[in-house]
Amino acid sequence: MSEIDTGAPVAAEGGEPGIRILAQFIRDLSFENPRAPDALRPSQDQPQIDLNVEMNARGRDDGLFEVDLKLSARANRSDGPLFVVELLYGGVFQITGVPTDEMEPVLLIECPRYLFPFARQVIAEVSSQGGFPPFLLDPIDFGGVYAARKAGAVEPVVGHA
């Protein structure tokens, strides 16, 4: 679910809009390989990948914003699960020149776009360390995810590979 709390003071409105990443970090990371080493054997059966994406943002007392990008992927074949990876990747952003009524899409679309390549790399590396080929996520349409969540989509936005 996408959530935002802009309880912090918003940077001065007007002027040129700007987004500056001040910090990036792994808040939480989990990789499960429940059937290793048997799941690592080559198979003609292509895995089914279920992907969930969540974005959350909150204002801070110092006028900055924390944005979290949560990516969860489950890989399954007909003979059972291969792996599960869950990553909560965060960033601290300074945002200037954005009116308050336009802040939510900036925090939940633009900021995750900045974080995504780094989160993608973490998932690729951890899946590789788990014995699988690097799992490279396809680009995510954060605008579409945001719009679906804003519209109150009953089902989570899930992608399949």
Helix (H/G/I), strand (E/B), else coil: 38: helix
Q: What is the pLDDT of residue 17?
A: 82
User: Does residue 161 surpass a pLDDT of 80?
Assistant: no
The residue among 77 and 26 whose pLDDT is bigger is 26
Q: Mind listing the domains of the chain with CATH numbers?
A: 3-37+44-151 (3.10.420.10)
pTM: 0.81
pLDDT digits (tens, 9 = 90+) for 77-126: 988 899 999 999 999 999 999 999 999 999 999 999 999 999 999 999 99
Helix (H/G/I), strand (E/B), else coil: 8: coil
Q: What is the pLDDT of residue 11?
A: 43
Cβ(98)–Cβ(75) under 8 Å?
Answer: no
